[in-house]
């Protein structure tokens, strides 16, 4: 019986479907030796590989991607690049720490912009700002905390009522919103393709090559793939939500599936009803709420719904996403979605990452908690530094450290119980 490979998505990535056909790189088909193996071809893995080459250009660097480039989890996100870290604690010590975090985040965004400045595809990276919105009491309470944080941090924001939100983004669904300019929107599948294209040619990059096992010997590590084995000195685990499938970080990172849909390109009449902003992103204040964005080419995207460890039936998800979109935009004409897809994120109990050396010469960055474009890029680069004994900022002090979690069935019971409570509390936001 063949071992199940992760990610194992039921649907194609909607963002990827909008791009020209991807020319796949080969699968690893023969045994090799390598100085370092990077498991995962997303933002974390790409950043680690690029940085490793800068540090040690004569090392053999091997990247393996379980799927095809931009079809994995990194291409399936909503495309938000938030420029600021958030905290419920607005004490001066916390704000000082957040200032350091934000400096690292800003530097990372600038590196991404530089890397794609002459890219083959348009990554559609635009600084649009972001709306944080609330429809019910639970959302309003969260929004108040967010407002207090922005104010204490001396960050720019604008308070918007229902009518003001309607003028900007064409919906009367929300009772209150805050707009701040600290966010970029990007086409995530295009971005991941472009960043991959920037890799030095000497880096060995294999698609459709999942890591099935990661085994330790006395002097090296063995990575088993479907058709070959890699013997390596050091390993970087950069597959985020799926690290536990290798038996790594099982007590720290859970796999949570969420879902998105893109409409067809809207006609002029429909677009005119969506408010004055022609490229915007909206985030709920409630953790289980629906995310929305309008795209440059005139579509609406909605992301919502969460499931533990298992991807839900696509037809059911489609009906639910259509209902959530209709409640926010009741006047939009009936239409089929252009695409509906699922994606997985690595979730930790306290929001801190699992990062660093967890066994001799075994390094990991996982648990980005939905912020993988920036955090993945930053943490991947710094992980390469750490693996080469270079100084790094104190990641755990700045961003936290993933807490221990029980394994199933207790973890699943806990997730379902918390989800049920939160869905009830924040049902207006969902």
pLDDT score for 153: 87
Q: Is 182's pLDDT higher than 80?
A: yes
Confirm if 279 and 185 have CB atoms less than 8 A apart.
yes
**105-127 pLDDT per residue, tens:** 999 999 999 999 989 899 999 99
Q: Taking the mean position of all CA atoms in its chain, how far away is CA 117?
A: 22
What is the C-alpha separation between 235 and 384, in angstroms, rounded?
Answer: 10
pLDDT score for 64: 98
pLDDT score for 93: 66
pLDDT score for 1: 47
The residue-averaged pLDDT of 329-358 equals: 94
**69-119 pLDDT per residue, tens:** 999 999 999 999 999 887 656 666 678 888 899 999 999 999 999 999 989
The residue-averaged pLDDT of 156-176 equals: 97
What is the C-alpha separation between 186 and 203, in angstroms, rounded?
Answer: 26
The residue-averaged pLDDT of 284-308 equals: 93
For the ranges 30-34, 136-140, 200-204, 221-225, which has the lowest average pLDDT?
136-140
Nearest residue to 98 via CA among 360, 399, 406: 399
In the chain, what are the domains? 24-76+190-252+349-417 (3.50.50.60)
Q: What is the chain's Cα-based Rg?
A: 21
Q: 33 pairs with which residues across the strands?
A: 231
Coil, helix or strand at residue 232: strand
At how many degrees (to 10) do helices 92-115 and 372-387 cross? 90
pLDDT score for 92: 64
In the chain, pLDDT over 90 holds for what percent of residues?
Answer: 85
In the chain, pLDDT over 70 holds for what percent of residues?
Answer: 98
The residue-averaged pLDDT of 65-72 equals: 94
In this structure, what token pair is assigned to residue 244? 């536990």
Q: Is 297's pLDDT higher than 60?
A: yes
Q: Is 233's pLDDT higher than 70?
A: yes
- 313 CB burial (10 A radius; 0-12, 13-18, 19+): exposed
Q: If you search the block for the tokens 């298992």, which residue do you land on?
A: 310
List of residues 6+ apart from 105 with CB closer than 8 A: 82, 83, 84, 85, 374, 378
Q: Are strands 80-82 and 354-359 parallel, antiparallel or unpaired?
A: unpaired
What is the C-alpha separation between 262 and 371, in angstroms, rounded?
Answer: 20
pLDDT score for 430: 86
Q: What is the DSSP string of 110-148?
A: HHHHHHTTT-SS----EE--EEEEESSHHHHHHHHHHHH
**314-328 pLDDT per residue, tens:** 999 999 999 999 999
- Residues, the chain: 430
**Is pLDDT larger for residue 215 or for residue 120?**
215
What is the C-alpha separation between 201 and 199, in angstroms, rounded?
Answer: 6
What is the C-alpha separation between 19 and 7, in angstroms, rounded?
Answer: 21
What are the backbone angles phi and psi of residue 47, rounded to the nearest 5°?
-65, -40
Q: Is 344's pLDDT higher than 80?
A: yes
The residue-averaged pLDDT of 347-360 equals: 95
**376-393 pLDDT per residue, tens:** 999 999 999 999 999 999
Coil, helix or strand at residue 41: coil
Helix intervals (H) in 32-91: 43-55
Q: Containing H/E element for 269?
A: helix 268-272
Mean pLDDT of the chain: 94
Q: 214 pairs with which residues across the strands?
A: 223
pLDDT score for 139: 92
Confirm if 395 and 65 have CB atoms less than 8 A apart.
no
pTM of the model: 0.95
Q: 138 pairs with which residues across the strands?
A: none
Task: Give CA separation, 144 vs 134, 177, 178, 406, in Å.
Answer: 10, 10, 10, 33
Q: Taking the mean position of all CA atoms in its chain, how far away is CA 255?
A: 12
């Amino acid at each position: 019986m063949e071992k199940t490979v992760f990610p194992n998505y039921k649907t194609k990535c909607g963002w990827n479907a909008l791009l020209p056909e991807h020319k796949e790189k080969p699968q690893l088909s023969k045994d090799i030796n390598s100085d370092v193996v990077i498991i995962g071809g997303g933002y974390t893995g790409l950043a680690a590989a690029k940085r490793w080459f800068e540090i040690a250009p004569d090392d053999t660097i091997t990247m393996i991607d379980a799927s095809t480039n931009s079809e994995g989890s990194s291409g399936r996100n909503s495309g938000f690049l938030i420029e600021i870290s958030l905290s419920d604690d607005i004490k001066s010590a916390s704000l000082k720490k957040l200032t350091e975090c934000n400096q690292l985040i800003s530097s990372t965004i600038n590196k991404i912009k530089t890397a794609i400045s002459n890219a083959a595809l348009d990554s559609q990276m635009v600084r649009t700002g972001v709306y944080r919105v609330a429809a019910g009491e639970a959302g309003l309470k969260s929004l108040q905390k967010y407002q207090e944080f922005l104010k204490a941090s001396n960050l720019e924001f604008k308070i918007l009522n229902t009518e003001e939100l309607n003028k900007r983004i064409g919906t009367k669904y929300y009772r209150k919103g805050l707009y701040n300019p600290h966010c970029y929107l990007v086409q995530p599948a295009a971005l991941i393709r472009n960043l991959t294209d920037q890799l030095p040619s000497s880096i060995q990059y294999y698609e459709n090559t999942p890591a099935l096992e990661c085994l330790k010997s006395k002097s090296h590590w063995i990575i088993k793939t479907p058709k070959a084995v890699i013997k390596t000195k050091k390993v970087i685990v950069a597959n985020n939500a799926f690290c536990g499938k290798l038996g790594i970080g099982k007590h720290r990172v859970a796999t949570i599936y969420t879902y998105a849909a893109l409409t067809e390109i809207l006609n002029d009449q429909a677009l005119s009803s969506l408010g004055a902003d022609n490229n915007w992103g909206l985030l709920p204040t409630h953790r289980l709420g629906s995310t929305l964005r309008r795209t440059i080419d005139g579509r609406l995207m909605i992301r919502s719904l969460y499931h533990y460890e298992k991807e839900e039936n696509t037809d059911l998800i489609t009906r639910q996403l259509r209902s959530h979109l209709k409640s926010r935009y009741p006047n939009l004409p009936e239409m089929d979605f252009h695409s509906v897809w699922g994606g997985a994120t690595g979730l930790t109990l306290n929001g801190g990452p699992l990062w660093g050396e967890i066994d001799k010469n075994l390094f990991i960055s996982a648990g980005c908690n939905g912020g993988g474009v920036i955090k993945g890029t930053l943490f991947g680069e710094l992980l390469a530094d750490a693996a080469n004994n270079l100084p790094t900022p104190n990641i755990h002090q700045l961003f936290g450290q993933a807490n221990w979690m029980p394994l199933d069935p207790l973890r699943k019971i806990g997730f379902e119980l918390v989800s049920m409570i939160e869905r009830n509390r924040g049902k207006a936001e969902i």
